[in-house]
Every structure is written in C-alpha cells, then in structure tokens.
Amino acid sequence: MNRLVAAGTVLALCCALIVRSSLLAQEEVDVTIAPLNGSGVGGSATLQPAVGGTQVTMTLGGMPPGSAHANYLYQGSGCGASEYGPTVEPLTSIGADANGDAAVATVLDLRYSQIADGAHVIVVHAGATLEDDATPIACGVIPAASSQPTPAVTTAAPQATPSGPVAGLGGPRNGSDLLPTGIVVALGVFGLASAGAAFALRYSQRR
C-alpha cells in the first residue's frame, strides 16, 4: 500500500508541474520602437502577462548620454501626431547610460488583453517629463495578440540593441491574467493526489 500511495503522490506532482508549466507559457508580443523627428532613438519592447497585470520591458539606444526621458502608454493605432492619444498610463522613465542606452521595465495595472489589442502605442518623449519637453522622439505600435485580429501596421527597424541591467519594475499590481494559476495548480494537485490515495485504498481493501 505504501508503494502505491507514494506512486500516486509522484504522479500527482508530475501532473501538477506539467499544468503549471503550460499555464506559465503565456503569450507575449514584441514591439519595434522606431525613431521620430530625426532623433535616432530606437529599440524594442516586449509585453507579457505578469502577476499584477502586464509587464512591459524596453531596451533603447541612440539617446544622448545621461539623458532622461518620459515614457508613456497611449491609446492609438499609429505613431503619427494624429494617430495616438490620450495617455493611458506612464511607463518607467528612461535614463540613458554613458553610451546612450537604457533598459527599463514596468508592471501595469492592466490586463494583457487590454493592451495587446492593436489599439495602443508606446511613446518616448524628449524631456524627462511632458512639461519639460513633450516632443516624441520614438514610438512603437503594440500589435494585437495572436488571439485577436492584427492590424496592418508598418514601423521602421530598431536603431540600436542596448545592453545592461533592466531598471525600474514598478506600477500598481491589482489584477492579473496569471492570477488563476496557483488556484488551478493547487486544485490539480489535490484532485490527482486524492485519486491516487483512493486507488491505493481500494487496492489494499481487495487484498
């Protein structure tokens, strides 16, 4: 009986790990950040579901060394002056290193499906705040996730591939596409373990 219980427990744990891995293999979308107004600033961003909402990770290059730039999520479908606005949420401010590169991350209090819908853009501004200088120097259109229709949007290639640590991982964390993960895994473990124990009990009773 002990061997059967142990085997049932191992099976339950293996199945739980498989379930957890499949739930965590969430979708992501990549965004090309292209220069605006002759700035030469470019790079890329990646959006992923995260505990707390959606994580936006950005890498940029081509900025003046040591410069600071406001960084916002906007409603919109393009990077032209009349194609986006108003602001939705601020993203982590960008601080360029001595090479003019930066890597930043933000967790937004918005579900992944609310942002990866083909109706939002990321805009980097010239000034450290919009009040300082709101001139857009780089922009990227967030494509729709594969589960949604993808709009036809063309952007320029990134201008640089920055390196270095990611700065800033902030923002509200009051909702998540991944929130059910722990519950589902726990239920899976409990159910499979119960089934294994029941099987072992029945087997022992027959003997």
Question: What average pLDDT is seen over the chain?
Answer: 75
Residue 148 has what pLDDT? Answer: 43
- Do 173 and 185 lie in one domain? The reply is no
Range of the domain at 187: 2-24+181-206
**Domain tally for the chain?**
2
- Do 9 and 35 lie in one domain? The reply is no
Instruction: Tell me whether residue 117 is exposed, middle or buried, using C-beta atoms within 10 angstroms of its C-beta: 0 to 12, 13 to 18, 19 or more.
Output: middle
Q: CATH number, domain at 168? A: 2.60.40.200
- Do 20 and 107 lie in one domain? The reply is no
* pTM of the entire predicted model: 0.64
Mean pLDDT on 95-106: 97
Residue 52 has what pLDDT? Answer: 80
Which position has the higher pLDDT, 158 or 188? 188
Provide, rounded to the nearest whole percent, the portion of the chain with pLDDT above 70: 58
- Do 39 and 67 lie in one domain? The reply is yes
- Do 158 and 94 lie in one domain? The reply is yes
Cα distance between residue 105 and residue 158, in whole Å: 18
Is 155's pLDDT higher than 50? no
Hey, is 149 helix, strand or coil? coil
Rounded to the nearest 10 degrees, the angle between the axes of helix 2-24 and helix 180-206 is 160
- Do 19 and 88 lie in one domain? The reply is no
Residue 167 binned pLDDT confidence (cut-offs 50, 70, 90): low
Can you tell me which residue has the tokens 């290059």? 61
Provide, rounded to the nearest whole percent, the portion of the chain with pLDDT above 90: 55
Cα distances (Å, whole numbers) of residue 145 to 17, 113, 115: 26, 8, 9
Q: List pLDDT tens digits, range 23-67.
A: 444 589 999 999 999 999 999 999 999 988 999 999 999 999 999
- Do 159 and 190 lie in one domain? The reply is no
Q: List % helix, strand, coil for the chain (3-state, nearest 5).
A: 25, 30, 40
CA angle, 11 then 17 then 21, to 5°? 150
DSSP 99: T
